[in-house]
Amino acid sequence: MDRLPRIGLGWDRHALAAGHTCKLAGLEIDCPVGPVGHSDADVILHALTDALLGAAGLDDLGTLFADTDPRWKDAASTDFLAAAVGLLADSSLRVISVDMVVVCDLPRLAPHRGAMRANLARLLSLPVNRVNLKGKTTEGGPANASAAIEVHAIVMLKDVTPSGGCA
C-alpha cells in the first residue's frame, strides 16, 4: 500500500425550520431556526464525516448511519464523527487538515466561527490552525435559500502505518 496523502470531499444540506435546535459543529447555537433531520442534523459534522470516510475509501455516512434507521433517531452527530475517526485509525490513517465552507443566511456564522473551529479541532485532536471553517451568505440567491444550510468540507489524511508495517 502506498503512503501518499489522501484527500476527501464532503457535502451536505439540510432544511432550516423554527422549533429545531440549531446544532452546528457540535455546538448548540442560539438561533430562531435549526437544521431539520433524523439525527441531531448537525450538517457541519455530516459533511466533515463524509469527507473523512471518502478520503479513507470507506462507505459514506448515509450507508453507515442511515436516516431510516431508528437507532440514529436524534443521535449525536459527534458519535458519527468519532466512529469515522475510529475507522480511520483502524486503517492507519490520521486526519491532518480540514477546510470547510458553510453557506447559510441564518445563523450568522461569524460570531460562532472561533468556537466552532476550536470544537472541531478538539473533536479531531488537531491544533486549531489545522481546522478552518468559513461562513458565506447566499447574497440573494434562490428564494428559499435562507431556509437551508449547506456545507462543503475537504480533508487531508496521512498514512501513519509504522515503517515496515503491512496494514
* β-strands 93-103, 131-136 pairing: parallel
User: Is residue 42 near Mg ion by the rule CB under 5 A?
Assistant: no
Among 6, 46, 112, 117, binds Mg ion (CB under 5 A): 46
Nearer Cβ to Mg ion (12/105): 12
How far apart are the C-alpha atoms of 71 and 86, rounded to whole Å?
Answer: 19
Nearer Cβ to Mg ion (62/111): 62
The one segment of 6-14, 21-29, 104-112, 135-143 that binds Mg ion by CB under 5 A: 6-14
How far apart are the C-alpha atoms of 110 and 147, rounded to whole Å?
Answer: 18
How far apart are the C-alpha atoms of 90 and 103, rounded to whole Å?
Answer: 33
Residue nearest to Mg ion (CB): 46
Nearer Cβ to Mg ion (46/112): 46
- Sign for the CA dihedral angle at 79, 80, 83, 89 comes to negative
Whether the CB-CB separation of 121 and 130 falls below 8 Å is answered with yes
State in angstroms the smallest separation of the CB of 50 from Mg ion. 8
Whether the CB-CB separation of 81 and 88 falls below 8 Å is answered with no
How far apart are the C-alpha atoms of 100 and 132, rounded to whole Å?
Answer: 6
The one segment of 5-13, 80-88, 126-134, 157-165 that binds Mg ion by CB under 5 A: 5-13
Q: What is the x/- site pattern for Mg ion, positions 12-41, by CB under 5 A?
A: x-----------------------------
Which parts of this chain interact with Mg ion (CB under 5 A)? 12, 46
